[in-house]
Structure 1
Amino acid sequence: MFTLSVGHLLGLFATLAAFVALAVHAARKVGSAEGFSLSGRRAGPTMIAGSIAGTSVAGASTIGTAQMAFSYGITAWWFTLGVGIALILMACFYAKPLRASGLETLPQYLTRHYGRAAGLIASAVSSTGILFSAVASAISGIALIGVLFGLVPWQAGAIIAALVIGTVFFGGLKGAGLAGLLKMAAIGLALAVAGVAAAIALARVPDFSTVFPFDPWFDPFAHGVSQTIADFVALLVGMICTQTYIQAMFSAVDTRTAARGTLVAGLLSIPVGLPCVAIGMAMHAAHPDMAAIYALPVFLVTEVPPVIGGIGLAGILFSVVGSISGLALGIGTMIAGDFGRGLLKIRDGRALLWLNRFAVLAVTALAFAIALANAGSQVLAWNYLSMALRGAGVFLPMALAVFRPGHLNGRRAAVSMALATLAAVCGRFVFHLPLHPLFVGLAVSAVVIGAGLRRARLRQA
């Protein structure tokens, strides 16, 4: 357990109070399902950037990056670099056609192009993948709260779950967006100060080249070229197929705003990893026997001014809360829109609003139940599985719907989604293939879709 000074507690709880105030403020302006899930489609670029960055810059971008840098060095930057590039690609190529559709969820978009079966399969697959990402964030948050305050896992989980519910259960996307803006400000301030302190500490390391030889500390492919590229591509594909980020685009007032907000979120995400890398390496030099996952919080407690450190700890906590909030809201929106409105034919706006809210509550509870049952598991393992499930079956049909609409048969699209996702899961858990599960799924998807496109061309000939 860390010893937090009065200054740490002041910075932590003052930021927490601001966080709660924003959630309450957002809740007062939510009176419909669309207002809850899409901010009434009036979100500006700042709110969109906050919603996306509040989810994408989470525990993996901060604690996870510092953790990897503690053991491997600069290769840890690939994660936030990939997050930023994925968002930039979405801003450039996906924001306009997705926002112009006027829809609410990615499965609805696929339903428009391929039919209801494809939409329902995409909703189920995406929800499962996003849930696993929420589990990863929950595991990180439980460990952080537990070590900061000496709480047992269920107590730490209850605190984080309460913060998640308070953020998104009442305020919806607007609450998540406001929280994301506050979180990015807190993390930006703390990492700017901590990054400079870490750079100074590294400059003072005696015999620097001996402590940090090029391999692995400054080799960007320290995990191997093929593994690094596989993880990077999985990150790009998985993020592009995530309802949470697409939902933020749908909430924009127009297509231009959707692209601008997503672009800003991407540009904000890329540099977050650099101070975390410096912090991880500095903590390795100072405390080589410390558990790597604690590198960032320990540095904030011991090496920066207490109030700034407290703000930073709150920012990291909010990064976990914001990630789970955004991911749970994405699932809740798909359940309300695709199953409530689409399958069950619910038309009452208030009923859809409460269905969305209780779906968020159920997803949050399930994510923490799974996290508590797997508290000792690897966080990145859940993230990689999440990315594979999100992208393996959905990415290629989605890309064709966006860039070549009308070319793929709806039945073929639905079959490809189902088989590709099944192949990714079986390749990972049943056959234990050495290939990344994402690429197993993409290969099956490409074969099924390719056969369908070829058959269509032969018929036309």
Structure 2
Amino acid sequence: MQLTSLQMFCMITVLIVASLPSIVAATKVKSDLDYSLAGRNASSFMVAGTIVATIVGSAATVGSAQMGFKVGISAIWFTVGCGLALIIMGNFFAKPLRNSHLTTISEFLVIKYGESAGPLSSVASTIGIFLSIVASMLTAVHLIAGAFNTDLFISGVIIIFIVLSSVLLGGLSGSGITGLIKITLIVLTICVAGVKAYLDLGGAAGINVLFPKEPWLDLIYGGPQQLLYNCISLIIGVVSTQSYVQAIFSAKDSASAVKGCFIAAAITIPIGIPAVIIGMATYKSNPNINSIDALPWYLLNNLPEWLGGVAIAVLILSSIWSISGLVLGCSTLITRDIFKAVIGIKDTKKILWFNRTSVLFITILAEIVVFKNINSYVLDWTYLSMALRGAGIFLPMTFIILFKEFVPKKAGLLSMIAGISVALTWKWFFPLAQDTLFPSLAFNLLFLVPGVLIGYYQKNKKN
């Protein structure tokens, strides 16, 4: 991937300018509440911006184009699944979570299941989110190395700089602002490129002529079972992630939280479409390139020179801002549920300092893990991440919202222990198993369902 001087200039300019709002946001941060939750005064658009900043990362752009290059239109299901997850979050989770006036998912679980639930959910969430950070960094390191024609170490340094500038100072306010900028830039570049790719292929009629139905035009390529598994995994992963729930906690009221989820869903669902079409157009133009380069190759070779440079900056920012949102969620869990809850730190300035220090530490640690596993597979990290988050959080949290007082404390706590234990050990006992998520959920239900039935029975008996 070779950039011209004009493309390089435009790319660097966008990277610098897009980082400035976070620095400005830092001047308004006076406490840990300002940093972690934007002072609980975020509008629906800021909530949406915070979510989009994290959820529309390299998988939604580069990943969708890569799969479009390999299998065609069925690649749109990643962003569709993410959008469905946000709709479900808005309908069922946003209002009770925002009305709890808490900061982390762990705090929400502690209220119902007791103090022991806090460390369990915090550890599962922190490790799960950290693995997602590693997965995102694996993509970002290679993308930046190609854009700047530099080695992987320098690429890692650039990632650290952009992550810290976008979230270290401004916190959630900075993340929300960068999300709104990301939306604008994606519409300007990737959506424009998607329209051009569609026209280059001859529209719908041309696509039907150029591509055979299998696999290119099959919406459920891989079968309905695989599609269902992927969508369920995405829904569980999104709903169980501190970074997205943190955006809900930051809303000024529950209505803003709900609207923010719906706005984010409306933005996220269609973003994959132009990326997939670009992947298909790249395949017809240059089928021999590495599939992961499909999107950047098309942007550099088919857009006006200046816009191609801007577009590469958008890809880099999409990837790194996604990392930033995940890092902020991870640091908030560490700060609130370890430094504050366990160690007992109460001073807001000290908590703010610990939060910012955690951002720095997590970013550097993730870089170290990436370079130790530079040739590993992104999806391996992603699936393990989803399993850990879903196993310890999704169903225990869902049962609190759906069944409230009918879930016994002990049943909820045992379900968390069982789910997390299965997620960590399942492949040791069953090495050929493709996933650990569904077995973990089954063990959650093994305790939650009888617990709810017992709760109903005891309540009716009292009445």
* TM-score normalised by L of structure 1: 0.96
Aligned partner of 1:90 in structure 2 is 89
Q: Secondary structure at 1:343's aligned position in 2?
A: coil
Aligned partner of 1:289 in structure 2 is 288
Aligned partner of 2:52 in structure 1 is 53
Provide the rounded CA distance (Å) in 2 between the counterparts of 1:270 and 1:206: 24
Code of the residue aligned with 1:403 in structure 2: it is: L
Provide the rounded CA distance (Å) in 2 between the counterparts of 1:388 and 1:138: 19
**1:429 and 1:72, CA in 2 relative to 1: closer, same or farther beyond 3 A?**
farther
Indicate if the aligned counterparts of 1:230 and 1:436 stay in contact, CA closer than 8 A: no
Aligned partner of 1:258 in structure 2 is 257
Q: Secondary structure at 2:231's aligned position in 1?
A: helix
Between 314-323 and 266-275, report the one with greater CA deviation: 314-323
Indicate if the aligned counterparts of 1:102 and 1:250 stay in contact, CA closer than 8 A: yes
Q: Secondary structure at 1:71's aligned position in 2?
A: helix
What is the correspondence of 1:7-406 to structure 2 with a 5 Å cutoff?
7-203=6-202, 211-406=210-405
Between 164-173 and 403-412, report the one with greater CA deviation: 403-412
Provide the rounded CA distance (Å) in 2 between the counterparts of 1:128 and 1:234: 17
Provide the rounded CA distance (Å) in 2 between the counterparts of 1:437 and 1:309: 41
What is the correspondence of 1:395-434 to structure 2 with a 5 Å cutoff?
395-434=394-433
Deviation at 1:209, TM superposition (A): 5.2
**1:209 and 1:38, CA in 2 relative to 1: closer, same or farther beyond 3 A?**
closer
Provide the rounded CA distance (Å) in 2 between the counterparts of 1:144 and 1:376: 14
Deviation at 1:435, TM superposition (A): 5.0
Deviation digits for residues 309-331 of structure 1 (CA, Å, limit 9, x no counterpart): 22211111111111111111101
Deviation at 1:395, TM superposition (A): 1.1
Provide the rounded CA distance (Å) in 1 between the counterparts of 2:135 and 2:418: 25
Deviation digits for residues 129-164 of structure 1 (CA, Å, limit 9, x no counterpart): 111111111001001011122222121111111110
Code of the residue aligned with 1:112 in structure 2: it is: I
Provide the rounded CA distance (Å) in 2 between the counterparts of 1:457 and 1:96: 24
* TM-score normalised by L of structure 2: 0.96
Provide the rounded CA distance (Å) in 1 between the counterparts of 2:163 and 2:402: 36
Provide the rounded CA distance (Å) in 2 between the counterparts of 1:16 and 1:152: 19
Provide the rounded CA distance (Å) in 2 between the counterparts of 1:450 and 1:100: 26
Provide the rounded CA distance (Å) in 1 between the counterparts of 2:136 and 2:206: 37
Pairs aligned (count): 460
Provide the rounded CA distance (Å) in 1 between the counterparts of 2:434 and 2:445: 16
Deviation at 1:437, TM superposition (A): 1.5
Deviation at 1:251, TM superposition (A): 0.6
Code of the residue aligned with 2:384 in structure 1: it is: L
Deviation at 1:457, TM superposition (A): 4.7
Give the unaligned 5+ runs of structure 2.
Answer: none
Indicate if the aligned counterparts of 1:136 and 1:382 stay in contact, CA closer than 8 A: yes
Deviation at 1:260, TM superposition (A): 1.1
Provide the rounded CA distance (Å) in 1 between the counterparts of 2:360 and 2:427: 30
Code of the residue aligned with 2:109 in structure 1: it is: L
Task: Quote the sequence identity (%).
Answer: 38
Deviation at 1:201, TM superposition (A): 2.0
Deviation at 1:200, TM superposition (A): 1.8
Code of the residue aligned with 1:349 in structure 2: it is: T
Deviation at 1:429, TM superposition (A): 4.9
Q: Could you say what the CA RMSD is over the residues aligned between the two structures, in angstroms?
A: 1.8
Indicate if the aligned counterparts of 1:118 and 1:410 stay in contact, CA closer than 8 A: no
Q: Secondary structure at 1:116's aligned position in 2?
A: coil
Deviation at 1:350, TM superposition (A): 0.4
Deviation at 1:267, TM superposition (A): 0.6
Indicate if the aligned counterparts of 1:118 and 1:411 stay in contact, CA closer than 8 A: no
